[in-house]
Amino acid sequence: LFSAVELAPRDPILGLNEAFNADTRPNKVNLGVGVYYDEAGKVPLLKAVAAAEEALVAEHAARTYLPMEGIAAYDAAVQRLLFGQDSPLLDSGRLVTAQSLGGTGALKLGADFLHRQLGKSLVAISDPSWENHRALFEAAGYEVVTYPYYDPATHGLNLDGMLAGIEALPEGSVVLLHACCHNPTGVDLSLADWARVIDVIQRRQHVPFLDIAYQGFGENLQDDAVAVRLFAESGLPLLIASSFSKSFSLYGERVGALTILTGERDETAPVLSQLKRVIRTNYSNPPIHGAKVVARVLNDAHLYALWEDELAGMRVRIKAMRQAMVEQLQAAGVSRDMGFIQRQRGMFSYSGLSADQVARLASEYGIYAVSSGRICVAALNQGNIAAVTTAIAAVLRD
């Protein structure tokens, strides 16, 4: 029966974990997957999470099925985080939020919903984008095209190309945008840039779909949500895939959400009803634990403050690693200007390394990065950064 099944290629990101785990060298470094490691090289369990978990364990609650759209207190907290505590949208009756299996699950729910309900089958993603964006939308039945985004010459944004690319899409296309901490480039839009993008999307009647997986890793929780809020103000209907994998260090719990801002109140109940059908036919209803933890933290002033502080600690440490990387690359003899690493935001740096150079880092030095040249700065620490920068300098030199 299965003789015709061909071996699939390794996943370009998660497949690196397999290669890394199989490497027996003691000083190996995993700069592949987007995971934050602390200064000791460990994935942290946040204090706010631990406190919420202790309280939850003490409750010894029964585990019945959740509603298909998840925990109501969680969904409401997601909306406050995205739109702001005082946003009039919270009581507008135009918001639908469904707890999802991480940010990836939210993207899939949105893709399926748009495909099934509105017949959408063309999506534009940034060039480059997170590798799984293309794969996920293709699996959901879409043709995936790209709009220009990154300018390798400046290590910055190609805004004109982006605007022209989005303009040229067939009217009504789904346009996927990274709301902050662009993955993989770390290059974000300014407020003025967003205003121009929103203008094109509005004129062309495209459907904006924002992916926000790194809220809090750029500047802070408020500023990182600015794209979400600008889109909301524009009056456009909007889809948002959000995730707590990184900001709560809850990767394996799969805690995310799909939020849909409808055009008017009357659309909300039908949209929710159809979204529930998508959920029911995919996985029935979401898991409890991670969302309960997040809901508890977000709905408790003390735990919220503790979490915000821990999140700031992660952000500050990543920024310090960026600075150290630039300095140490220079000290290791790299003469080209690597200052762009410090301008990039979030967990990643788009290093400019070629696929060959990345392959050499793995084979000669046991340092794993994505073949696009993306490296996870959040996996650097004082103990491994010298080895990493020395190795990068060596592959850049030869």
| Closest residue by Cα to residue 70 from 283, 219, 227, 265 | 283
Roughly what angle, to the nearest 10 degrees, separates helices 72-83 and 226-234?
90
307 is catalytic: no
380 binds ligand LMR (CB under 6 A): no
Q: In the complex with ligand LMR, which residue's Cβ is closer, 132 or 381? A: 132
Q: In the complex with ligand LMR, which residue's Cβ is closer, 9 or 26? A: 9
Q: In the complex with ligand LMR, which residue's Cβ is closer, 372 or 381? A: 372
3-state SS assignment for residue 77:
helix
Q: Which of 183, 185, 242, 262 binds ligand LMR (CB under 6 A)?
A: 183
Q: Which of 37, 74, 83, 130 binds ligand LMR (CB under 6 A)?
A: 130
Smallest separation (angstroms) from ligand LMR to the CB of 251: 8
Amino acid identity of residue 80, one-letter, is R
194 is catalytic: no
346 binds ligand LMR (CB under 6 A): no
| Closest residue by Cα to residue 291 from 101, 129, 156, 132 | 101
Smallest separation (angstroms) from ligand LMR to the CB of 185: 12
Q: In the complex with ligand LMR, which residue's Cβ is closer, 183 or 268? A: 183
Q: Of the residues 108, 112, 120, 130, which is catalytic?
A: 130
CA pair distance 315, 321, nearest whole angstrom: 10
Residue number, nearest CB to ligand LMR:
34
The strand ranges marked E within 102-254 are 122-127, 143-148, 150-151, 156-157, 174-178, 207-212, 238-243
3-state SS assignment for residue 176:
strand
Q: In the complex with ligand LMR, which residue's Cβ is closer, 206 or 246? A: 246
List alpha helices for 214-300, DSSP H: 226-234, 265-282, 289-298
Q: Of the residues 28, 108, 246, 292, which is catalytic?
A: 246
13 binds ligand LMR (CB under 6 A): yes
Q: Is 314 exposed, middle or buried (0-12, 13-18, 19+ CB in 10 A)?
A: buried
188 is catalytic: no
389 binds ligand LMR (CB under 6 A): no
Contacts of 194 (CB under 8 A, 6+ apart): 226, 227, 230, 231
3-state SS assignment for residue 147:
strand
Smallest separation (angstroms) from ligand LMR to the CB of 151: 21
Size of the site for ligand LMR (CB under 6 A): 6
Q: Of the residues 211, 224, 292, 307, which is catalytic?
A: 211
Active-site residue set: 130, 211, 246
- Binding positions for ligand LMR, rule: CB under 6 A: 13, 33-34, 130, 132, 183
